Amino acid sequence: MRAKAAGPLSVLLLVLLMALPAAGADDFDRLRRDASRISSLSADFVQKKSMKILSKPLVSTGKFFYAAPDSIRWEYVKPIRSIVISEKGTSKRYIASGGKMIEDKTGGVQAMKIVLDEVAGWMKGKFSANPSFAASVREGPETVIVLTPTGKNTAGMIEKIEITVSRKDAVVKTVRIVEGAAAETRIDFLHTAVNPALPPGTFQDIP
């Protein structure tokens, strides 16, 4: 049976350590101030899903675009092309089929909107806004925010989320979702451009 690549959206839906001291309000205020100058982002990403039952990780690649305050385009290029766009409170997903991009009208689209809203919050430096997680900060060559679930529902599905933020330009570099000893997903953002002029139609419907 062929394994299906799991996207970060489906993995992050599970969200709805080193012993670290609780982060003070000043830590998160600084992160928000540093991120406030970011009006747009573009990046490539590599996603690796590792599980004990797999001989090697499932790898997906794609492109990511963000425009303040909450517009996101998450586009898989390989192994299967698909695009999720969140713009002005509405989210849509398109999947390659028969040489065309077909809109996915299943009920999962609304759940994806919740996930993309969370990602948009991270891009704005809002790492401690979700009450479902306790957030702490580990400082070093780069800043690492650790989110641990506070509720029983989430705790049963996910162990922690680690978000690495560049100290140089306050952008998210890596998201690591640990579901337990047997499974985790890592998303690395590469070639990130801060405040680029995004192409017209980046967050519009796919023709």
What domains does the chain contain, in order, with CATH numbers? 21-194 (2.50.20.10)
Give the confidence band of 79 by pLDDT, cuts at 50, 70, 90.
very high
Q: What is the pTM of this model?
A: 0.74
Q: What is the mean pLDDT of residues 65-74?
A: 86
Q: How many residues does the chain have?
A: 207
pLDDT of residue 105: 76
pLDDT reading at 45 higher than 90: yes
Beta bridge partners of 86: 72, 91
126 with 34: CB under 8 angstroms?
no
Closest by CA to 144, choosing from 53, 2, 18, 16, is 18
Nearest Cα to 86, choosing from 104, 67, 63, 99? 67
pLDDT digits (tens, 9 = 90+) for 47-60: 999 998 889 999 99
> Which whole number is the average pLDDT over 38-49?
90
In the chain, the DSSP E strands lie at 40-51, 58-67, 71-78, 82-87, 90-97, 100-104, 133-138, 143-149, 160-165, 172-180, 183-194
